[in-house]
Chain A
């Protein structure tokens, strides 16, 4: 990762580049209070209510994510109680079917998209910088943007529920039920647009989690030795980057079908409802592991400390995480065993689904082995961990049963599955999260727990949970399907459901106690001494509650093996790297990918309302789409483009800064001198997600062309007269890439590349113009057949990428003009290069596909 292309001053690198033990001399100790004051001034949120709007700090936002997720959990819980109340008797006392359908759909959607995912994002955002020994996440403004998108998307969905127009087609929204014919009204649009809005925050979080873990670990914290939680989160974030795009694509396609009648899923015009199922579960199965992995990361962190030992089998656990990430993308079909799939395919996906249990089993035994090796302490977090073991093991076992195809044919879509999914979700996520809450609350509040209440909450939840869901396995085997609101002809299910409902309310009381316990701790607890768990990890090497700057100085290699309580004072006195904030700006240290050698000093932006503005503009777009005012959506889109430009301007830094001495004898350059900045790594992550989206689109085209019944469609009207325009649209992004190369070369020589960048603007714009000509004059009506709709989507994809390419070229041109790009400072050029190359490749592929879909002579 270290890059020698940046010319200029010779920069000291630690002794021997081959030696992988890194020696860094300590800084002289200073007065801790002085450092603290100045750092706090630089890193703190703005005062007053305005401070809530402009905050970008990871501690603030991590807590905000988790707090909001908790509120959504409570809302989802209330909906669950309504479901249970309805099912307690066979004629469903009080909800009508329409409302019941909205309620179970919202329960599932809220729990998955507005509780579980944001909760784990919040935990990662709050914890990772502290655990890795850095001061903040890589892109603080992105953290804030993600939060606002999550909040607004969630509020849109909740508002729809209040007005009785919430989604009602189940949390997986199968077409054609969710299509315009069978779901008129905005209910389904609320889901498609709201969830996609929320997913922006998932992608933001995934990008920054990846970059933070790869590039911001404390010096000497090798990838292969970092805390296991970071490995789990790395796996999770990669899965999010690859897992969410298929769902985003599916949602966009379905929304286009609903709004503009372009057929993708409608059988009569060349679509196929199974395309939705494939894309949804291509996301949906990894989603389950996205939720489980962070929880497992918590367990791997807590268990060894609670047993006063080291984790057993670090290597085996890392291998398991990687295996899970890989395998979980190969089993989505196990949610579709009853759609009529060839027996060979069933056997393959059944085997894959069973295989994925192996890495999980390895982890479970590594944890139990760790407990054998140490002396487990039966304190409250351990209660929740035991609750996890009991519940999750049973959920996992019913999971492998469901992977056995013939059994799946019976149990699928019954209460058995409802039981299974709650065993894994509550066992595998909620119990570990409760352990995490108990564990980190002292750090968040700086206070001690009130004794007794937490234990009571645990027992009530445990009993309530198993009382509710254990017999639901039986209910399902006795034939009760999921998603029904009445069962007048089946008195034999009444006592089962009634029991579930009663225990459901017991469980709710338990969660009430749990929340009460947290509130009491926050407001009435005694002051907490530092490092209450005597933990080895850096997250406790700080005063409580955690200060806004996180670390007064960055831990050096020799600090990584010391227990947290010894490191606290060393770091607070500035003996680590990059002490204090002497230049009055937010600085942190970036390191190399594998061995974590110091690379450069990154500057982070401060408090700003820009994320809120951008999220509001996106929100405006979503609301106008919901209102069906499609023409007006152009306004917020222009606003979005302008705000993103402002965002980019906010990143620009003075160019002439001298290297910074981060430790005696170790001077590092500022980010501007390196081509591979954090932003560059982040762009790579984003392109991975984007590439997955494109690959999903290609998959969709292939799937429909090969599988859908109404192919080939009616004779295409488009003729070879279109080919020159297709060629222009495909080749202009390539010209843009050449223009980028030229700007790069000029930049390295210290020349003026603004003309070359200008050429980039022109090339991309011509591509857009050529696509417009195609759309207006040559292409078939996209509502006619899936083939034509897909061609329209390809054209739109290429146009959007060329448009953004033009924007980047224009931005670089502007930077050349302002002399912000110099021989030493590459500005936006490296990122533009990534984007333009990607746009060029996808344009070529898209052109081939579009032509390959067939035209008349």
Chain B
């Protein structure tokens, strides 16, 4: 128990102020996945311990053992239920975070070596911002992700999984942010010398303020007007 606490300590320490952490979720998708992770971690710890105990017990005088018990009961009997449960959990969470055709807000994400362009619809026409994504809180948003040079990957760890930006195709990713605030995003697929600095900020605003924030951004220097 003490051991476990000591192990958790760095986690707790690291938990505060880590803007790219998958373990401090700020949206339902990331929260589901983080939950999945903690459960899987627990399971993995138990299984590792089991193997280690069995190994430790092997050091002793020879024992009468039946091969079937090991290869079938433990080998098959243990692995199938564990793996089956993992598959089911994965499918369940996967289904929950998947985009569906419910008319959610769509924002275009275009990756270029080495920056991001976000284009959101607004009453005065589409607004494009660079390296800055503005999201309404509490609403599902579908990101339509493209690239015209090499492969990149769009990732806001606190909101959910990543999705590649691939030339010649449009990928869709659904994210939702809980509350207003500032989050961070980055490119996750190696894309050349600028890969490490291909970052962007995510500004989550109250849903009612979203259009206004967009308008501000359009008037800002941030907006692209070429």
Q: Is the CB of B70 within 8 A of A368?
A: yes
Q: How far is the CB of A658 from chain B (nearest CB, A)?
A: 49
Give Cα A490–Cα B60 distance, bound, in whole angstroms. 50
Residues of B within 8 A of A346 (CB): 94
Residues of A within 8 A of B36 (CB): 404, 406-407
Q: Is the CB of A709 within 8 A of B70?
A: no
Residues of A within 8 A of B192 (CB): 101, 177, 182
Give the secondary structure class of A's interface.
helix
B140 interfacial by beta-carbon distance below 8 Å: no
Q: Is the CB of A366 within 8 A of B87?
A: no
A410 interfacial by beta-carbon distance below 8 Å: yes
Question: Given A393-B48, A410-B161: A369 and B150 within 8 A (CB)?
Answer: no
Q: Is the CB of B83 within 8 A of A412?
A: no
Q: Is the CB of B166 within 8 A of A410?
A: no
Q: Per a CB cutoff under 8 Å, which of A351, A378, A478 touches B20?
A: A478
Q: Is the CB of B79 within 8 A of A361?
A: yes
Q: Per a CB cutoff under 8 Å, which of A390, A413, A484, A487 touches B162?
A: A413
Q: Per a CB cutoff under 8 Å, which of A408, A413, A478, A482 touches B18?
A: A478
Interface string of B6-36 (1 = CB under 8 A from A): 0000110010011111110000011011001
Q: Is the CB of A414 within 8 A of B188?
A: yes
Give Cα A466–Cα B161 distance, bound, in whole angstroms. 27
Q: Is the CB of A477 within 8 A of B167?
A: no
Residues of A within 8 A of B163 (CB): 338, 340, 409
Q: Residue on B with the closest CB to A174?
A: B151
Residues of A within 8 A of B17 (CB): 492
Question: Given A390-B52, A394-B44, A407-B33: A340 and B164 within 8 A (CB)?
Answer: yes
Q: Per a CB cutoff under 8 Å, which of A98, A316, A340, A386 touches B169?
A: A340
Give Cα A273–Cα B151 distance, bound, in whole angstroms. 9
Q: How far is the CB of A709 from chain B (nearest CB, A)?
A: 5
Residues of A within 8 A of B48 (CB): 393-394, 397
Q: Is the CB of B54 within 8 A of A368?
A: yes
Residues of B within 8 A of A365 (CB): 70-71, 74-75, 78
Residues of B within 8 A of A176 (CB): 149-151, 167
List CB contacts (< 8 Å) of A361-391 with chain B: 361-366, 368-369, 371-376, 378, 386, 389-390
Q: Is the CB of A361 within 8 A of B75?
A: yes
Q: Is the CB of A338 within 8 A of B86?
A: no
List CB contacts (< 8 Å) of A440-492 with chain B: 471, 474, 477-487, 489-490, 492
Q: Residue on A with the closest CB to B91?
A: A347
Question: Given A174-B151, A369-B71: A406 and B20 within 8 A (CB)?
Answer: no
Interface string of A246-279 (1 = CB under 8 A from B): 0000000000000000000001000011100000
A418 interfacial by beta-carbon distance below 8 Å: no
Q: How far is the CB of A674 from chain B (nearest CB, A)?
A: 40
Q: Is the CB of A405 within 8 A of B90?
A: yes
A40 interfacial by beta-carbon distance below 8 Å: no
Give Cα A307–Cα B93 distance, bound, in whole angstroms. 45
Name the residue in A343, A355, A411, A492 with the highest tally of chain B Cβ atoms < 10 Å from its Cβ. A492
Give Cα A410–Cα B94 distance, bound, in whole angstroms. 12
Q: Residue on A with the closest CB to B57?
A: A372
Q: How far is the CB of A403 from chain B (nearest CB, A)?
A: 8
Q: Per a CB cutoff under 8 Å, which of B29, B51, B150, B191 touches A364?
A: B51
Which of B193-201, B208-216, B217-225 is near enough to bind chain A?
Answer: B193-201
Q: Is the CB of A400 within 8 A of B86?
A: yes
Q: Per a CB cutoff under 8 Å, which of A343, A362, A490 touches B76?
A: A362
A606 interfacial by beta-carbon distance below 8 Å: no
Q: How far is the CB of A399 from chain B (nearest CB, A)?
A: 10
Which of B61-69, B104-112, B118-126, B127-135 is near enough to bind chain A?
Answer: B61-69
Q: Is the CB of A316 within 8 A of B166?
A: no
Q: How far is the CB of B106 from chain A (nearest CB, A)?
A: 15
Residues of A within 8 A of B65 (CB): 312, 369, 372-373
Name the residue in A177, A307, A393, A708 with the highest tally of chain B Cβ atoms < 10 Å from its Cβ. A177
Q: Is the CB of A407 within 8 A of B37?
A: yes
Q: Residue on A with the closest CB to B23?
A: A477
Q: Residue on A with the closest CB to B151?
A: A174
Q: Per a CB cutoff under 8 Å, which of A343, A477, A487 touches B98?
A: A343
Name the residue in B29, B78, B190 with the highest tally of chain A Cβ atoms < 10 Å from its Cβ. B190
Q: Is the CB of A368 within 8 A of B58?
A: yes
Residues of B within 8 A of A351 (CB): 87
B157 interfacial by beta-carbon distance below 8 Å: yes
B97 interfacial by beta-carbon distance below 8 Å: yes
Q: Is the CB of A177 within 8 A of B150?
A: yes
Q: Is the CB of B33 within 8 A of A101?
A: no
Residues of B within 8 A of A101 (CB): 192-193
Q: How far is the CB of A421 from chain B (nearest CB, A)?
A: 15
Residues of B within 8 A of A357 (CB): 79, 83
Q: Is the CB of B186 within 8 A of A481?
A: yes
B3 interfacial by beta-carbon distance below 8 Å: no
Q: Per a CB cutoff under 8 Å, which of B47, B71, B80, B171 touches A313?
A: B71
Give Cα A274–Cα B169 distance, bound, in whole angstroms. 10
B178 interfacial by beta-carbon distance below 8 Å: no
Q: Per a CB cutoff under 8 Å, which of B57, B67, B151 touches A177?
A: B151
Q: How far is the CB of A428 from chain B (nearest CB, A)?
A: 14
Q: Is the CB of A412 within 8 A of B188?
A: yes
Interface string of A413-424 (1 = CB under 8 A from B): 110000000000
Q: Is the CB of B199 within 8 A of A489?
A: yes
A358 interfacial by beta-carbon distance below 8 Å: yes
A857 interfacial by beta-carbon distance below 8 Å: no
Residues of A within 8 A of B37 (CB): 401, 407, 410, 477
Q: Is the CB of A389 within 8 A of B55?
A: yes
Give Cα A8–Cα B94 distance, bound, in whole angstroms. 69
Give Cα A378–Cα B167 distance, bound, in whole angstroms. 56
Q: Is the CB of A312 within 8 A of B70?
A: yes
Give Cα A347–Cα B40 distance, bound, in whole angstroms. 18
Q: Per a CB cutoff under 8 Å, which of A182, A390, A474 touches B14?
A: A474
A736 interfacial by beta-carbon distance below 8 Å: no
Q: How far is the CB of B130 from chain A (nearest CB, A)?
A: 18
Q: Is the CB of A267 within 8 A of B167?
A: yes
Q: Residue on A with the closest CB to B54?
A: A368
Q: Per a CB cutoff under 8 Å, which of B47, B75, B149, B162 touches A182?
A: B149
B160 interfacial by beta-carbon distance below 8 Å: yes
Interface string of B152-168 (1 = CB under 8 A from A): 01010100111110111
Give Cα A257–Cα B72 distance, bound, in whole angstroms. 50
Give Cα A400–Cα B93 distance, bound, in whole angstroms. 16
Give Cα A113–Cα B160 distance, bound, in whole angstroms. 35
Question: Given A478-B22, A479-B21: A273 and B71 within 8 A (CB)?
Answer: no
Q: Is the CB of B33 within 8 A of A409?
A: yes
Question: Given A372-B57, A479-B22, A484-B196: A316 and B67 within 8 A (CB)?
Answer: yes
Q: How far is the CB of A567 from chain B (nearest CB, A)?
A: 26
Q: How far is the CB of A167 from chain B (nearest CB, A)?
A: 12
B139 interfacial by beta-carbon distance below 8 Å: no
Q: Is the CB of A483 within 8 A of B190?
A: yes
Give Cα A378–Cα B55 distance, bound, in whole angstroms. 12
A-B CB contact pairs (8 Å), 29 listed: A101-B192, A176-B151, A177-B151, A312-B67, A313-B70, A316-B72, A340-B163, A340-B166, A343-B94, A343-B98, A350-B91, A358-B80, A368-B55, A368-B58, A369-B67, A397-B47, A401-B37, A401-B44, A406-B93, A409-B162, A411-B22, A477-B23, A479-B186, A484-B195, A484-B196, A485-B196, A492-B21, A709-B168, A710-B168
Closest 6 CB pairs of A and B: A409-B161, A479-B20, A369-B70, A267-B168, A362-B75, A340-B171
Assuming A369-B74, A477-B22, what are 16 further A-B pairs, CB within 8 angstroms? A97-B193, A273-B151, A354-B86, A362-B75, A368-B54, A406-B93, A409-B162, A412-B161, A413-B153, A413-B188, A479-B21, A479-B22, A484-B196, A486-B197, A487-B196, A496-B14
Q: List residues of B whose CB falls within 8 A of some A CB.
A: 10-11, 14, 17-23, 29-30, 32-33, 36-37, 40, 44, 47-48, 51-52, 54-55, 57-65, 67, 69-72, 74-76, 78-80, 83, 86-87, 89-91, 93-95, 97-98, 113, 149-151, 153, 155, 157, 160-164, 166-169, 171-172, 184, 186-193, 195-197, 199
